[in-house]
Amino acid sequence: MSDKSDTSPKWFKQISSWLALFATIVSLTTFYLGNLRKGTIEVQLPEEVGVKLNPDSSIDLLVPTVIYNTGAPNKQRIVTAITATVIDNSNQKFNFRWKDTWDFIGKLEFESLYPDRKSNNNIDDYIIYTSRGVPFVISGGDSDYRMLRLVPLERSNISSDLSTFQLVLVVKTKDENFEIMGVYSGKTDLILDGPYHWFQKLEK
């Protein structure tokens, strides 16, 4: 009668068999990551958020934002809308929607293009309108930067001595919503119908 050890699969004892199995696992993993992984949306809030006090005592927000799709290259995400909630010092909530996109332009470039709009204030750059807020696509593995201008969803008054607030940003896609939160602080009172005041992000 032969020894039981002789019945063990020969491939189990061979290094080449293990290497082949490892290569198969790597190939399947690579195929999944490159073609099948749905992934998620990651949203990076800025270190500073612009706040402007409007004549009706509501506020507009400027939020420079990076949105990243962690999915496989062929897994596109369509961003359909962006909303936000601001919770102020007294725990009041104010709702906002994305209306349009703005961007920075250097002082020298702006003043050469628009000499009649030169500011007398000591500034490093200007903020200019780019486009209306419309749905956009982010392919898997890609990111998109936008300076979002968020406007109030309803008429509401906010105190001009706003010093700290919590910002909850919601990026809406065709099939999922993605939420991120940050807390921001500023040291000066807002000026009615004045320029944007930049609030700095507080670290947790």
Provide the Cα torsion 63, 66, 69, 70; round to 10°: -120
Low-confidence ranges of the chain (pLDDT < 50): 1-2, 32
Strands 177-185 vs 136-138: parallel, antiparallel or unpaired? unpaired
Say if CB 14 and CB 164 are below 8 A apart. Answer: no
- Burial state string for 190-204 with b = 16 or more CB within 10 A and e = fewer than 16: beeeeebbebeeeee
Q: What is the pLDDT of residues 127-152, one digit of tens each?
A: 999 999 999 999 999 999 999 999 99
Closest CA to 45 of 84, 89, 93: 84
Give the distance from CA 95 to its chain's centroid: 18
Residues 147, 61: Cα–Cα separation, whole Å: 10
DSSP state of 12: G
Closest to 82 measured CA to CA, from 156, 155, 146: 146
What whole-number distance in Å separates Cα of residue 87 and Cα of residue 93?
5
**Backbone phi, then psi, for 13, in 5-degree steps?**
-95, -5
Q: Which helix (H) or strand (E) holds 26?
A: helix 15-31
